[in-house]
Amino acid sequence: MIDTEALAIDLKGRIPQPYIAIEGPIGVGKTTLARQLSDLFDYQLLLEDAHENPFLTKFYENRRQNALATQLYFLFQRIQKIDDLKQQDLFRPLRIADFLIDKDPLFAQVNLDPDEYALYHKVYNQMTVDAPTPDLVIYLQASVDRLLERIERRGIAAERAISRHYLEELNEVYSEFFLHYDAAPLLIVNANQIDLVNRREDFEQLVNYALDIKAGRHYFNPTFID
């Protein structure tokens, strides 16, 4: 694992953005990166805690039958977390999150039939709070082969039924969403080859790149020499 304490000493004096959100498809490593950045900068960690969704295992086994319940649970959970965040100390908004509330409709778009999506959209419009806008969004991209490899490696029982086709759909809607995203500074990361858990140089290079971003759209696409 990366020694974030040692890295923090190296980065002393450089100020990260106060609210960072990390996004990407299942298995890409967004929660891992969120935890590492939280440890590095001593920021509050805001996680969506997918494992708490009681419908998730059944959803992966039968998407069609369990999609609406799964989606609505995630919506309520994410809104509650955002609402809790807004009730906290606004004078110290130092936070790392592994989700954007804006992405919730992406999953609904993939998983729900038209009637279910219409119902979901009514609920979403009624419930969505005025979520704070991140100061930086980090979008992690990876190929379906790489996602499947990482999902298999982490060995979460509920995820064993995730299909290649589902990951292909998620990659497509994520790419479309972030193609037009301009609500906050955006860093798009090619996460196919980097190892943010075991290779300090990968993590340090990404952190150094992200620390310099204050506006606009940026791409982090490291190359490796064997």
Which residues are catalytic, by number?
98
Contacting residues for 97 by C-beta, under 8 A, at least 6 apart: 19, 20, 21, 22, 34, 45, 46, 47, 134
Paired residues of 136 in beta bridges? 20
d(CA 142, CA 158): 21
Nearest CA to 104 among 83, 125, 133, 134?
125
d(CA 158, CA 59): 9
User: Starting at the edge strand that comes first in sequence, how are the strands of the sheet with 44-46 ordered?
Assistant: 44-46, 95-97, 19-23, 136-141, 186-190, 217-220
The distance of Cα 83 from the centroid of its chain, to the nearest Å, equals: 18
d(CA 120, CA 97): 24
The CB density around residue 94, as the number of other CB atoms within 10 Å, is: 15
What SS3 string covers 132-162? CCCCEEEEEECCHHHHHHHHHHHCCHHHCCC
